[in-house]
Structure 1
Amino acid sequence: MTFERISTGIPGLDSLMEGGIPRGFTVLVAGNPGSGKTVLASHFLYEGLKNAGESGIYVSFSESREQFFNNVERLGMDFQKYEGEGKFHFLDLASVTREGIQDALDEVVATIRDSHAQRMVVDSFSAISQAFDDLNEARIALQIVLGKMTRAEGVTSMLIAEVPVGQESIGSGIEEFVADGIIKLEHGRTNAAPLGVRVIKMRGTDIDRETHLAVISSKGMTVYGKQKLRLSYPMSEERIRTGVPGLDERAGGGFLRGTTTAVIGASGVGKTTLSFQFVAEGVRAGEPGIFCSLEEAPDDIRRMARRYGYGDIESLEEAGLAIVSVVVENLHPDAFVSFLAEQIKKTGARRIAVDSISAFEQSYPDEMYSITKHLVALMREHGVTSIFTLLTTQQAGMNLTELGVSSLFQNIILLRYVEVEGAMRRSMLILKMRSTNHDESILEFTISDGSGMRIAGAMDEYTGILTGVAQRLYKEFEARKRAMAQEGAQKKEGRRRRSEFEASLGKKAGSSGSRQKGERGGGGRQQQQRRGRGQKR
């Protein structure tokens, strides 16, 4: 069976029950005092008056007409306008006694017929049921008057029921006989999550039974539905530049469009810089982008950008860069997801950086996996290429994060500090890049004024980098040792050969001297012999 559905006036609530309440249904709105029951019911009536052209009736057994008008006026609802037009009727039955309850119900039915009302609110169901001594009598009367008769007249009704603080059960136990649907409101624990709303029952309707965040502001009630989760999303083979010089060629040409990347590292190591350069690169290429900081004000981000070479930050903002900041203590994760969804639609963003989702950990330590999964699902649904930074305490080895969310990302980049020969330097490791043949080296990067982050090269000559203290590779030391030994041996061999050469030269010089001396001695004897022969003659 297909129902015609009418809106509650709260889009987030409608989405929990296939788009709205089936026409003619009677819905119980239950909750503790101050949980927003009257506000929700007022939205329901005002939606009919303003947008659907349907007249309405508010039947009050608790507050006066003046109180009602004052309260809803603060929410931007002008019921008095429609009362003047004869489209809205307020029945003040706060002073009705038990003896007059039947007459009061007859008046309600008469007003419905006379005004041709299509929507009605009864505040409160609890007051009516208490007017009967016997619960069976109450059930019969309510079923006839508020059930069959209103449905026959085509009236869709909301019945408000008070749930005492500390009590889990709803009403007096007869509601299930009257109500086609039940919506329950409850108080939250923090300012970021002031109220929760849950659809417990709605006949013939596929409902979302989870508790969802509800917030009441000057514009009335807002219900934040949770981001839908699925496994299959459209994939792209297009590569987009990261904005970090030297990184693209080590990442297969850049990130695949539509992927999500986790940039993990300790405080101050460069996560914010990398993610900002990524978004700014897209804006320069004509792609609108959002840089969302959960820890710094927009002016702090602009100051950082100017320092690292983005002196034209105002021009980037005019070209499509949106810098926004959110205080997570004031905004529930579901509201944050909705906020980002609105920003995506508003700006047409193709790139987003969220810095840093670890900010949610303090308030929601047990929900980090769910928060991250819904954020990733939002990005993938809209085909946005995104970076999420995560803060971690640097430890020896490859311990990424204690949050247990790394499996949700398609790409993971780890940034680390490393001590090298008495100086602190920075290293990067691409741990994971889906469908990409990426560089598996440990890369050194620098961050400098005027140019920001850039890859300096691979740290091939060091070992122990992941311990935080890098040392020269032992094989290099051995190679140098062998080279030095070889050089020493060559020098020693050279000295030996020189010595031998010099010795051989010495021997040759001695032999030549002896021959010359002998030759000088023989010539003298010959002269003496000649002189002797001359004397004899």
Structure 2
Amino acid sequence: MLKDGFPEGFTVLVAGDPGAGKTIFGSTFLYNGMDQFGEKAVYVSLAETKEDFYEEMKGLGMDFEKYEKEGLFKFIDLVTVTPETVEKEIELIMSEILTFQPKRIVIDSISTFAQLLGLKKTRMFLHTTLGRFIKSFGAVAFLVAEKPLGKEEIGFGVEEFVVDGVIVLKYSKLGEIVRRIMEIPKMRKRSVGRAEYEYIITSKGIHFLEIPELVRGTEEASTEKITTGIEKLDELLAGGVYRGSITLLVGMTGTGKTTFGLHFAITNALQGRKAIYFGFEEPIGQLIRAARGYGLPIDEALQNGLKLEGWVPEAKSPVYTFLKMKQMIDEFKPEVVVIDSLTALREHMDDTELAKMLRYLSLLIKEHNITAYITLNADTNFETVPFTKASTLADNIIGLRYAINEGVIERYLSVIKARGSNHSKKIHRYEITSQGVVIYECKDRTL
């Protein structure tokens, strides 16, 4: 984001809402300096004890105790310091810093520091004592500041300090969804590409979404077709779906979208293609039971390249969902992916955020030349498709619906769209049997 990172001799204000991850952000900055470059680091804490800090960071995969033993890290505990003793403690801090000569320093929090010392003396400490060291030794210091929740000002007058850079971490909730956003309103000597960056906090620390360039690849599209897992559907699509294409399955509940997805994933796995099935609606055990009930050899497929992944997307932002799928795709390297369903994601995201996530996902799919099935729970009359953002990204659209004819529920399908294929333009009847999906020629009936 900053191209070459933080310039040497910089003081950076890291301000944020409660719960935004300021301590984790600063700690990661120190830890990566030690872990990747062997740089010495100092953490000055006015918020938590050394024992609590070490325990919390170990839970995030950062072993500060290890680097303390190796002589790369110092933790300065000022949790119990009082206004009467703070100036004496500052002398001790600077004495340790001058002796240790760290390249990275975090003071958490400067807001508490200012309360104890007063604004005037805090400015003097930052600009003279600490500031001179940072400039002389080419170090970088993070000053962590509390930002009152729901307010724009940073608070405690910290925004008045002259710093080289400002990073603002924001925490917000929309219903059950938690979002964390980073803004960089100021960073001397560096150009910042975007106004904000979304991030998540996982068991491995902070992860930012690596936004792909919104540009289609220039490679020639594949002419190879792969099976849908249903022989008759392959015939309707003139031989299957193109490798690297995205197929949208649209239909109301009960039309069998999940069954079509299982056919696709299982058959391709058995033909030697690695496949991931992302299920956002049904538990994995229920998917396995359903596949067995339809006579699909899912147990064999699970031994031959099929991976079933399921979680409920509520309380997770679109970034988290995309990042998790991206990580699995990067690690597993599948040729086939099923996302079931888009509706489950849509219930917990607004359409703008979902459309953006779908855009990034489609670019990821195209980049890896993955063939994908995406299901959408919606009614279609075979002429129009709801949620046009998804239909625009799809190379193929298969509509599924049911109707009551003479007191009997019958299911129908139509290939609404198939780019580059001489696909069937007819409406076909199908059934879900103990042998899976069976498609028939449609008789003349009113739908």
Normalised by the length of structure 1, the TM-score is 0.75
SS for the counterpart of 1:432 is strand
SS for the counterpart of 2:413 is strand
**C-alpha distance after superposition, 1:88-134 (max 9, x if no partner):** 22223345566765654454443233113111111122233345656
Q: Does 1:293 pair with 2:275? A: no
Q: Does 1:417 pair with 2:402? A: yes
Residue 124 of structure 1 aligns with which residue? 109
For residues 254 and 176 of structure 1, the distance between their equivalents in structure 2, rounded to whole angstroms, comes to: 64
Among residues 429, 443, 447, which one is paired with 1:444 in the alignment?
Answer: 429
SS for the counterpart of 1:407 is helix
For residues 240 and 82 of structure 1, the distance between their equivalents in structure 2, rounded to whole angstroms, comes to: 52
Preserved CA contact (<8 Å) 2:18 2:171: no
Q: Does 1:110 pair with 2:95? A: yes
For residue 144 of structure 1, what is the amino acid of its counterpart? T
Among residues 202, 223, 234, which one is paired with 2:187 in the alignment?
Answer: 202
Change in 2 beyond 3 A, CA 1:84/1:365:
closer
Change in 2 beyond 3 A, CA 1:22/1:255:
farther
Preserved CA contact (<8 Å) 2:238 2:421: yes
SS for the counterpart of 1:193 is strand
Q: Does 1:323 pair with 2:305? A: no
Residue 162 of structure 1 aligns with which residue? 146
Residue 276 of structure 1 aligns with which residue? 262
Deviation at 1:265, TM superposition (A): 0.3
Q: Does 1:385 pair with 2:385? A: no
Aligned residue runs from structure 1 range 335-414, under 5 A: 335-366=320-351, 367-393=353-379, 398-402=383-387, 404-414=389-399
Residue 8 of structure 1 aligns with which residue? none
Residue 508 of structure 1 aligns with which residue? none
SS for the counterpart of 1:334 is helix
Moved more, 91-100 or 319-328: 91-100
Among residues 37, 57, 63, which one is paired with 2:22 in the alignment?
Answer: 37
**C-alpha distance after superposition, 1:303-325 (max 9, x if no partner):** 12222222x32221111001111
Residue 235 of structure 2 aligns with which residue? 249
For residues 410 and 24 of structure 1, the distance between their equivalents in structure 2, rounded to whole angstroms, comes to: 52
More helix by share: 1
For residues 231 and 336 of structure 1, the distance between their equivalents in structure 2, rounded to whole angstroms, comes to: 22
Preserved CA contact (<8 Å) 2:24 2:206: no
Residue 127 of structure 2 aligns with which residue? 143
Larger radius of gyration: 1
Preserved CA contact (<8 Å) 1:29 1:185: no
Residue 52 of structure 1 aligns with which residue? 37
Between the two proteins, the alignment pairs up a number of residues equal to 442
**C-alpha distance after superposition, 1:213-240 (max 9, x if no partner):** 32254x4x33241542523123222222
Deviation at 1:174, TM superposition (A): 3.8
For residues 78 and 416 of structure 1, the distance between their equivalents in structure 2, rounded to whole angstroms, comes to: 56
SS for the counterpart of 1:213 is strand
Query: Mind listing any 5+ residue stretches in structure 2 that lack a counterpart?
Result: none
Residue 193 of structure 1 aligns with which residue? 178
Deviation at 1:330, TM superposition (A): 4.3
Q: Does 1:433 pair with 2:418? A: yes
Among residues 222, 231, 235, which one is paired with 2:215 in the alignment?
Answer: 231
For residue 384 of structure 1, what is the amino acid of its counterpart? I
Preserved CA contact (<8 Å) 1:224 1:335: no
For residues 90 and 137 of structure 2, the distance between their equivalents in structure 1, rounded to whole angstroms, comes to: 15
SS for the counterpart of 1:331 is coil
Moved more, 76-85 or 156-165: 76-85
Larger relative contact order (C-alpha < 8 A, sep ≥ 6)?
Answer: 2
SS for the counterpart of 1:246 is helix
Change in 2 beyond 3 A, CA 1:81/1:193:
same
Change in 2 beyond 3 A, CA 1:47/1:364:
same
Preserved CA contact (<8 Å) 2:382 2:399: no
For residue 249 of structure 1, what is the amino acid of its counterpart? E
**C-alpha distance after superposition, 1:407-455 (max 9, x if no partner):** 12121111111334443222111111112222211122232212x1133
For residues 101 and 434 of structure 2, the distance between their equivalents in structure 1, rounded to whole angstroms, comes to: 72
SS for the counterpart of 2:232 is coil
SS for the counterpart of 2:330 is helix
Deviation at 1:212, TM superposition (A): 1.0
Residue 206 of structure 2 aligns with which residue? 222
Normalised by the length of structure 2, the TM-score is 0.89
Preserved CA contact (<8 Å) 1:245 1:453: no
Among residues 26, 34, 48, which one is paired with 1:63 in the alignment?
Answer: 48
More strand by share: 2
